[in-house]
Copies of this chain bind each other. A is one copy, B any other.
């Protein structure tokens, strides 16, 4: 059983960096442990010693990258505008293969590895979801949003369409689409809503 106090930090960083870089360039299929080890200048065993799977490495790599950006959503007082800002930024990020590649690779892993998905939910999805809900709750408190809205459901309505369209390429991913999602999610579509 490995003793984490003896862990070589230099190797750990090299592995995570190599994993991110290769995931961006090669995609998930062609991302191999061998290639990560070679690129990182590390023995394969050093990867297997500390991570149970290729997905876990990717997960840690992405976790390390996003550690810093836990800023919370913007709050200008205009919920729709703030959400559009965030979603448009997401659309822009997803257009960059170096950024989106590793995320796509990890997503593929999550879909196949329930245990990793559980980790993901706890350490990445839940915190990000809380940030989103915090912004929505602020809008609720400001009377901008209905008091009876289920913020979890609303967050899904706002963020899953863009994620899904990106993941499965079911349509063009444009800023206009992001705006439309926000508008439709917030304004409702039944005629008796007015």
Contacts and interface: CB of A to CB of B under 8 A. Distances in A.
Interface of A: 27-29, 79-80, 104, 107-108, 110-112, 114, 117-118, 120-121, 125, 143-146, 149-150, 152-154, 156-157, 160-161, 163-165, 167-171, 177, 180-181, 184-191, 193-194
Nearest to A147: B191
A111 B108 contact: yes
Contact of A185 (B157, B165, B191): B157
A113 B64 CA distance: 27
Count of this chain's copies in the oligomeric assembly: 4
A163 B31 CA distance: 26
B161 A163 contact: no
A112 B27 contact: yes
Given A107-B168, A153-B181, A154-B184, 16 more contacts: A80-B190, A104-B112, A114-B169, A118-B169, A125-B168, A143-B191, A146-B190, A146-B193, A149-B184, A150-B180, A153-B177, A154-B189, A157-B184, A160-B160, A160-B164, A188-B188
